[in-house]
């Protein structure tokens, strides 16, 4: 008899950051420094005793809303075959149809979708990447967390050295400071520190207007950057397309988009060279794969945003050599650590995502909800 979903446990987890961090959005006064990250964890158990774990997240507002939405729809899964992931995702979308197919509504489903994929891979005895179909067993990785704008330049340089010594293959620094000279000073110092060829990226976090973005992208052309990220507002498709057309340095964007439909418009309008979907933010693995199939067809490079524990597997399945963002913030939530060597993140060979929930995650859990029989 086919297996069936017996029990679902949802957890709202609040992870405190060691230091409050600021990117350009804080320096332009649009956001407060970030002090914590909210997570929605889904743990799914089946009649056969298999377990899957998945998560979604929110920075600043939105975490409690994701948890509340997931609570309302989760009981639709009890008794269903956990391998019917496509059908179940659509069923959950219909359960919440009134609040749409983007943003919080599908981010709440993402935790469940990821858990179902984790469970299916474990049933097959395969890492998630192998279940989907891998192109490689390790992925180029770069560090972001050392390059925030709140950190003084000498600290950013020290962080870059530490990342490189740990085997990380690229460094991204934040730009988009209201004083453009600050950006150019920090970039010049970092390029000098790393040497001409070490992979280096910049991220303006959407804080330039169109004329500033054009000037800054042109000024940054000599720095041999791997990409310039979010030079404009995330929804300025036309502005990004203008830059992508005239700037030699690849233009990257997509992390803030909250559905596959929004990403497809990026592809249709030729708005970027590097697409940066975020699996939990676009609704989970089912949705992410729908998008990356089309992105690969369009010849785009891939550099998923955040959540390396999921994205390392997904990037390994992309036909064009991708980059994965190394963020160690989530380390305390899991018992395992991502392995890094020679500039690359090694895809775990453990079944599923290859992560198990830590005691620290339980300690940081502020609310739980259960449905079904244990």
**Minimal distance, residue 227 CB to Mg ion, in Å:** 10
Cβ burial, residue 359 (10 Å; 0-12/13-18/19+): exposed
Q: Which is nearer to Mg ion, 96 or 146 (CB)?
A: 146
Instruction: Please list every residue from 32 through 61 that binds Mg ion, using CB under 5 A.
Output: none
**Helix %, strand %, coil % of the chain (to 5):** 40, 25, 35
Query: Looking at beta carbons only, is 68 or 234 nearer to Mg ion?
Result: 234
Tokens of 276: 């940066």
Write down the least CB distance from residue 253 to Mg ion, Å.
9
Whole-Å CA distances, 199 to 186, 226, 236: 16, 6, 27
Segments in the chain forming alpha helices (H)? 24-27, 63-73, 85-95, 104-124, 128-132, 153-165, 180-194, 210-220, 237-246, 260-268, 285-297, 308-316, 359-363
Q: Is the dihedral of CA 251, 163, 37, 278 positive or negative?
A: positive
By C-alpha distance, which of 119, 83, 76 is closest to 3?
83
Active-site annotation holder among 38, 130, 174, 263: 174
The token duo for 220 is 């940054």
Q: Return the ∠ at Cα 25 (arms to 213 and 27), rounded to 5°.
A: 95
Contact between 278 and Mg ion by CB under 5 A: the answer reads no
C-beta of 166: minimal distance to Mg ion in Å?
21
Give the three-class secondary structure for 42: strand
174 catalytically annotated = yes
Report the site for Mg ion in 341-370 (rule: CB under 5 A): none
Q: Are strands 274-275 and 228-229 parallel, antiparallel or unpaired?
A: unpaired
Stretch in the footprint of Mg ion (CB under 5 A) among 111-119, 203-211, 264-272, 283-291? 203-211
Q: How far is the CB of 255 from Mg ion (least distance, A)?
A: 5
Nearest to 230 by CA among 239, 221, 222: 239
Tell me, yes or no, if 305 is annotated catalytic.
yes
> Which residue's beta carbon is nearest to the bound Mg ion?
203
Q: How far is the CB of 304 from Mg ion (least distance, A)?
A: 11
Diameter of the chain measured on Cα atoms: 66
HSE-up of residue 54 (Cα within 13 Å, Cβ side): 32
Stretch that binds Mg ion, among 71-79, 120-128, 197-205, 235-243 (CB under 5 A): 197-205
278: Cβ contacts below 8 Å, ≥ 6 apart = 254, 255, 304, 305, 306, 307
Could you tell me if 340 and 316 are in contact, meaning their C-beta atoms sit under 8 angstroms apart? no
Identified catalytic residue from 25, 71, 305, 326: 305
Which CB sits closer to Mg ion, 329 or 369? 329
Binding segment for Mg ion (CB under 5 A), chosen from 28-36, 163-171, 196-204, 262-270, is 196-204
Min. distance of Cβ 65 from Mg ion in angstroms? 22
Smallest Cα–Cα separation from 366: which of 26, 30, 29, 40? Answer: 40
Total number of residues that touch Mg ion (CB under 5 A): 1
Nearer residue to Mg ion within complex by CB, 121 or 205: 205
Q: How far is the CB of 138 from Mg ion (least distance, A)?
A: 23
Among 43, 113, 183, 203, binds Mg ion (CB under 5 A): 203
Residues near Mg ion (CB under 5 A): 203
User: Catalytic residues, which ones?
Assistant: 174, 305
């Amino acid at each position: 008899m086919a297996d069936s979903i017996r029990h679902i446990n949802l957890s709202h987890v609040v992870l405190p950051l060691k230091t409050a961090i600021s990117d350009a959005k804080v320096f332009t006064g649009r956001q407060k420094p970030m002090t914590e990250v909210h997570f929605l964890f889904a743990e799914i158990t089946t009649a056969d005793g298999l377990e899957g774990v998945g998560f979604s997240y929110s920075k600043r507002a939105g975490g409690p809303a994701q948890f509340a939405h997931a609570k309302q729809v989760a009981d639709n899964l009890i008794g269903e075959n956990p391998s019917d992931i496509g059908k179940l995702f659509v069923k959950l979308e219909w359960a919440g149809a009134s609040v749409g197919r983007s943003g919080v509504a599908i981010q709440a489903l993402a935790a469940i979708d990821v858990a179902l994929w984790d469970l299916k891979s474990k049933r097959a005895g395969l890492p998630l990447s192998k279940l989907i179909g891998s192109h490689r067993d390790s992925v180029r990785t770069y560090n972001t967390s050392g390059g925030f704008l709140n950190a003084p330049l000498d600290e950013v340089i020290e962080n870059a050295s530490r990342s490189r010594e740990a085997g990380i293959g690229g460094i991204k620094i934040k730009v988009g400071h209201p004083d453009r000279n600050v950006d150019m000073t920090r970039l010049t110092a970092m390029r000098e520190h790393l040497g001409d060829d070490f992979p280096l990226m910049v991220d303006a976090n959407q804080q330039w207007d169109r004329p500033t973005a054009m000037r800054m992208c042109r000024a940054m052309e000599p720095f041999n950057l791997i990409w310039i990220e979010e030079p404009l507002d995330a929804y300025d498709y036309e502005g990004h397309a203008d830059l992508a057309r005239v700037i030699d340095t690849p233009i990257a964007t997509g992390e803030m988009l909250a559905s596959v439909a929004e990403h497809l418009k990026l592809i249709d309008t030729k708005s970027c060279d590097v697409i940066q979907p975020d699996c939990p933010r676009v609704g989970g693995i089912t949705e992410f794969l729908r998008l990356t199939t089309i992105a690969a067809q369009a010849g785009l490079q891939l550099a998923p945003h955040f959540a390396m524990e999921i994205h390392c597997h997904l990037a390994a399945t992309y036909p064009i050599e991708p980059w994965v963002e190394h963020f160690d913030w989530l380390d305390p939530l899991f018992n395992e650590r991502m392995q890094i060597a020679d500039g690359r993140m090694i895809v775990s060979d453990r079944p599923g995502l290859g992560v198990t929930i830590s005691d620290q995650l339980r300690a940081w859990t502020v609310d739980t909800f259960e449905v079904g029989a244990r």
